[in-house]
């Protein structure tokens, strides 16, 4: 696959399909649910939008990641969860309704917090003048390619529920296939350096992934949330929308830096296995379903 085709055509298409699939699972009630479960929602949002970037920042510094890889990891930390988190939460007996609510709210809020975190990371890890930051016009582009398909999916689900039910499964399958192709395409694009990149970012990505799920699970438990809610939050902040992070890093209209796409690609490969192990471990014993 030509790199220009991947970044200019396929990535936006893949991201659009994935976000459309997310929209087909959401309703207005998913946003309103924050008012019904304010404590769980606020803890989940705090973990996702405040705690997670701080943990990621510490890992990037602790492992002395090169600037571009550090920015790529920070970009991932600012990306919301998605349908995959909801699936793993369901399989692990988590509170899927909470997952859907957090995904819905995070997807909107991240459109504002993501550019701020990325611009901070660019300046901190790469310095002024090294790369063009995410400016307002680029933020608008992210808003359109991310929230546009979500809104379309929600409209279809609300206005044409029969159509929504008919296309939801095929869209989910397409989303999974697109995610695999995006990850493989990103790695192939940097195949000349992939060995050194894996050596540099593999352990930091794994550390960040495991730390995300552990913080996401144990912090809510210590504050008094149920195990089902804690599993949901652990999955939500441990499983990210890697395609969004890769698209922002690789797109010629945004960061236009394929090296920054490596941490999200590596993380996306790791998280499927670690999430399965995490789900198995937290379900040991009778308390798991409480």
Per the CB < 8 A criterion, the answer to whether 205 and 70 are in contact is no
CATH number belonging to the domain at 3-283, selected among 3.40.50.170, 3.30.1490.120, 1.20.1530.20, 3.90.550.10: 1.20.1530.20
User: What is the mean predicted confidence (pLDDT) over 270-281?
Assistant: 90
Instruction: Compute the Cα dihedral for 64, 181, 95, 112 and give only its sign.
Output: positive
Instruction: Give the tokens for residue 129.
Output: 């003048």
The Cα 218–Cα 137 span in angstroms is 39
Of 10, 144, 17, the closest CA to residue 82 belongs to: 17
Per the CB < 8 A criterion, the answer to whether 232 and 99 are in contact is yes
Q: Please write the tens of the pLDDT for every residue from 197-232.
A: 778 899 999 999 999 999 999 999 999 999 999 999
Q: Output the CA–CA distances (angstroms, integers) from residue 57 to 62, 77, 117, 238, in the order listed.
A: 8, 9, 10, 15
Instruction: Give the tokens for residue 126.
Output: 């790469």
Ranges 49-53, 119-123, 174-178: which has the least confidence: 174-178
Q: Please write the tens of the pLDDT for every residue from 169-192.
A: 787 777 777 777 777 777 776 676
59 membership: H or E segment, kind and range: helix 52-62
Instruction: Compute the Cα dihedral for 61, 143, 241, 185 and give only its sign.
Output: negative
User: What is the mean predicted confidence (pLDDT) over 130-149?
Assistant: 64
* DSSP symbol at 37: S
- For residue 211, what pLDDT is reported? 94
Backbone angles phi, psi at 169, to 5 degrees: -65, -50
Q: Output the CA–CA distances (angstroms, integers) from residue 178 to 13, 163, 182, in the order listed.
A: 9, 22, 6
Percent pLDDT > 70 in the chain is: 86
Q: Per-domain residue ranges for the chain?
A: 3-283
DSSP per position, 151-206: HHHHHHHHH-HHHHHHHHHHHHHHHHHHHHHHHHHHHHHTTTTHHHHHHHHHHHHH
Whether pTM exceeds 0.85: no
DSSP per position, 5-43: HIIIIIHHHHHHHHHHHHHTT--HHHHHHHHHSHHHHHH
- For residue 1, what pLDDT is reported? 41
């Amino acid at each position: 696959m030509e790199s220009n085709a991947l970044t200019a055509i396929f990535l936006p298409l893949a991201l659009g399909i994935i976000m459309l699939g997310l929209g087909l699972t959401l309703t207005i009630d998913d946003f309103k649910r924050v008012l019904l479960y304010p404590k769980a929602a606020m803890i989940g949002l705090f973990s996702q939008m405040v705690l997670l970037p701080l943990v990621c920042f510490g890992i990037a510094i602790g492992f002395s990641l090169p600037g571009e890889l550090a920015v790529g990891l920070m970009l991932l930390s600012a990306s919301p969860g998605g349908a995959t988190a909801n699936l793993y939460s369901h399989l692990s007996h988590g509170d899927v309704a909470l997952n859907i609510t957090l995904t819905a709210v995070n997807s909107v809020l991240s459109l504002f917090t993501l550019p701020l975190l990325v611009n901070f990371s660019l300046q901190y890890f790469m310095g002024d003048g090294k790369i063009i930051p995410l400016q307002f016009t680029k933020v608008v582009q992210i808003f359109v390619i991310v929230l546009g398909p979500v809104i379309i999916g929600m409209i279809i689900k609300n206005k044409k529920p029969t159509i929504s039910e008919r296309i939801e499964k095929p869209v989910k399958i397409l989303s999974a296939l697109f995610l695999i192709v995006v990850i493989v395409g990103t790695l192939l694009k940097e195949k000349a350096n992939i060995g050194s990149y894996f050596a540099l970012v593999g352990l930091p990505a794994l550390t960040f992934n495991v730390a995300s799920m552990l913080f996401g699970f144990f912090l809510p438990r210590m504050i008094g949330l149920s195990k089902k809610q804690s599993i949901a939050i652990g999955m939500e902040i441990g499983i990210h929308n890697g395609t969004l992070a890769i698209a922002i890093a690789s797109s010629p209209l945004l960061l236009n830096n394929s090296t920054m796409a490596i941490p999200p690609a590596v993380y996306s490969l790791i998280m499927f296995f670690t999430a399965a192990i995490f789900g198995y471990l937290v379900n040991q014993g009778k308390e798991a379903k409480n």
